[in-house]
């Protein structure tokens, strides 16, 4: 019908157990820091194990918008050459609104050219998402930062290494300050730095380009600035959250699944919680096997924390698993103020959840019932897919464009292990 928007949804018939293997893609949160970092080099960077997700496609658009040459010579590979970047080109709101990681261009452009202009970033909404720690870090390096009409402008004649203490543990601010500091003069020390696997991956990438970054993965990162950085070839780490999502899915519906191409160490906080629920998790060198034949797993307590704590990006998926566990679970969200909106959708499927401030109290029910639900954000959307797999009957999940931001071929990967899920186009009206 003319004028009626065609959008996509997932239709899931629940109840199937999972059997087989799922191969994990490159990490979204690593690649979205590493692609902007590539413009710091004086030559082309070849980046491998790139996931085919819409956030990556948007980052490619943004990089091309500022003049970077971005080629995709084969599946899973991008080559970025920043030699023709125009640092005066503003990155407009219509691009930054779709992708929070657009703000990494602030650090990268500032580090490389001493000049950046980026509209305020968007991304998933789960409460206020301030960028004061990013700005504080840039200013400590000698930059002048102003925000006018929702555009952040950072300039510096010369960046000088400095000591930066993060008042809160922030992945975004740690990455942004690293990007600016690698080409500053002298030593920068970031204290109370985030320790996520993608921070370590970014440090390894920067060092492959000739930077001198030490201590990533601890809460003190030391960066000695270098005048020249060169191109390199680099492969992105596996996605911790994608792997965790499929681990929880297997635990929630039961079966026997091997999740391939992972770094088991990155998954320890998730493994531990699943074991507490009574699920069997077997670590291999680069794989994790999840086996669950129990009727209903046990309730447990979960509190999100910066790495190595339980990741906030796994909170909605874990909460879905707990909806049918035996007993009452407590889920405390300590990173974000407002990350339980999706529980409304779960209640429509029959879940018993009371949200009290930053805590969700979940009393296990016998089963969820299929219903039309929507993805409120990326990870909440993945959680709805798991809920649909657990539920009796049919669940439709709309707003799946949000899920496509971070999960490569989710329908294909789940179908291959036995899930009855299809993607279909429908008329929104």
Residues labelled catalytic: 124
The correct pick among 7, 64, 83, 132 for binding ligand UD1 (CB under 6 A) is 132
Residue 20, token pair as written in the block = 């087989």
d(CA 367, CA 296): 10
Give the nearest distance from C-beta 166 to ligand UD1 in angstroms. 8
The answer to whether residue 422 forms part of the interface with ligand UD1 (CB under 6 A) is no
Taking the CA atoms of residue 205, residue 207, residue 213 and residue 217 in that order, the dihedral angle to the nearest 10 degrees is: 40
- Cis bond leading into 308, ω under 30°? yes
> How many Cα atoms occupy the beta-carbon half-sphere of 327 within 13 Å?
10
| Strand bridging mode 45-48 / 301-303 | unpaired
Give the nearest distance from C-beta 145 to ligand UD1 in angstroms. 12
Interacting residues of 295 by C-beta distance below 8 A, sequence separation 6+: none
Asked if 202 and 178 touch (Cβ cutoff 8 Å), the reply is: yes
The correct pick among 112, 134, 405, 413 for binding ligand UD1 (CB under 6 A) is 134
Three-state DSSP state, 290: strand
Rama region for 361: left / alpha / beta (φ>0; ψ in -120 to 50; rest): beta
Give the nearest distance from C-beta 386 to ligand UD1 in angstroms. 17
Residues 179-208, interacting with ligand UD1 (CB under 6 A): 194, 196
Give the nearest distance from C-beta 288 to ligand UD1 in angstroms. 19
The answer to whether residue 71 forms part of the interface with ligand UD1 (CB under 6 A) is no
The answer to whether residue 335 forms part of the interface with ligand UD1 (CB under 6 A) is yes
Task: Determine the straight-line distance between the first and last CA of the chain, rounded to whole angstroms.
Answer: 10
Q: For residue 362, give the H/E element and its range.
A: strand 359-363
The answer to whether residue 341 forms part of the interface with ligand UD1 (CB under 6 A) is no
Asked if 186 and 225 touch (Cβ cutoff 8 Å), the reply is: yes
Report the residue number, 29 or 398, with the smaller CB distance to ligand UD1. 29
The correct pick among 55, 201, 313, 408 for binding ligand UD1 (CB under 6 A) is 313
Residues 150-179, interacting with ligand UD1 (CB under 6 A): 168-173
Report the residue number, 77 or 120, with the smaller CB distance to ligand UD1. 120
Report the residue number, 9 or 307, with the smaller CB distance to ligand UD1. 307
Asked if 329 and 362 touch (Cβ cutoff 8 Å), the reply is: yes
The correct pick among 26, 311, 316, 350 for binding ligand UD1 (CB under 6 A) is 311
d(CA 233, CA 395): 43
The answer to whether residue 131 forms part of the interface with ligand UD1 (CB under 6 A) is yes
Give the nearest distance from C-beta 292 to ligand UD1 in angstroms. 26
Q: Which of 323, 331, 329 is nearest to 364 (CA)?
A: 323
Site string for ligand UD1, 22-51 (x = CB under 6 A): -------x----------------------
Give the nearest distance from C-beta 393 to ligand UD1 in angstroms. 31
The answer to whether residue 312 forms part of the interface with ligand UD1 (CB under 6 A) is yes
Q: Which residues bind ligand UD1 (CB under 6 A)?
A: 29, 128-134, 168-173, 194, 196, 306, 311-313, 335-336
């Amino acid at each position: 019908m003319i004028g009626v928007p065609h959008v996509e949804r997932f239709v899931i018939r629940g109840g199937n157990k999972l059997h087989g293997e799922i191969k994990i893609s490159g990490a979204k949160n690593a690649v979205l820091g590493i692609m902007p970092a590539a413009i710091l080099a004086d030559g082309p960077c070849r980046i491998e194990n790139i996931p085919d997700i819409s956030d990556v496609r948007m980052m490619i658009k943004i990089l091309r918008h500022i003049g970077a040459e971005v080629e995709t010579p084969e599946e899973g590979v991008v080559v970025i050459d920043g030699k023709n970047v125009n640092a005066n080109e503003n990155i407009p709101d219509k691009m930054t609104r779709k992708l929070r990681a657009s703000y990494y261009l602030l650090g990268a452009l500032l580090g490389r050219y001493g000049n950046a202009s980026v509209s305020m970033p968007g991304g998933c909404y789960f409460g206020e998402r301030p960028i004061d720690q990013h700005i504080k870090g840039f200013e400590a390096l000698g930059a002048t930062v102003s925000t006018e009409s929702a555009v952040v402008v950072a300039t510096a004649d010369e960046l000088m290494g400095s000591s930066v203490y993060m008042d809160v543990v922030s992945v975004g601010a740690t990455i942004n300050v690293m990007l600016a500091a690698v080409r500053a003069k002298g030593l920068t020390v970031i204290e109370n730095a985030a320790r996520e696997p993608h921070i370590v991956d970014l440090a390894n990438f920067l060092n492959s380009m000739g930077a001198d970054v030490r201590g990533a993965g601890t809460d003190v990162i030391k960066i000695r600035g270098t005048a020249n950085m060169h191109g390199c070839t680099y492969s992105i780490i596996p996605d911790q959250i994608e792997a965790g999502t499929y681990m929880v899915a297997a635990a929630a519906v039961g079966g026997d699944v091997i999740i391939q191409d992972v770094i088991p160490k990155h998954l320890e906080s998730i493994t531990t919680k699943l074991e507490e629920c009574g699920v069997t998790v077997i670590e291999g060198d680069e794989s994790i096997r999840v086996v669950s034949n129990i009727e209903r797993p046990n309730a447990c307590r979960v509190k999100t924390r910066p790495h190595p704590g339980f990741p906030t990006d796994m909170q909605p998926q874990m909460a879905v698993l707990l909806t049918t566990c035996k007993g009452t679970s407590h889920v405390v969200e300590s990173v974000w103020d407002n990350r339980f909106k999706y529980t409304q959708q779960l209640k429509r499927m029959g879940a018993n959840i009371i949200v009290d401030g930053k805590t969700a109290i979940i009393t296990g029910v016998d089963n969820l019932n299929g219903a039309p639900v929507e993805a409120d954000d990326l990870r909440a959307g993945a959680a709805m897919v798991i809920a649909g797999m657990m539920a009796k009957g049919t669940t439709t999940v709309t707003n799946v464009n949000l899920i496509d931001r971070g999960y490569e071929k989710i329908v294909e990967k789940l179908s291959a292990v036995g899930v009855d899920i299809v993607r279909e186009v429908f008329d929104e009206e």
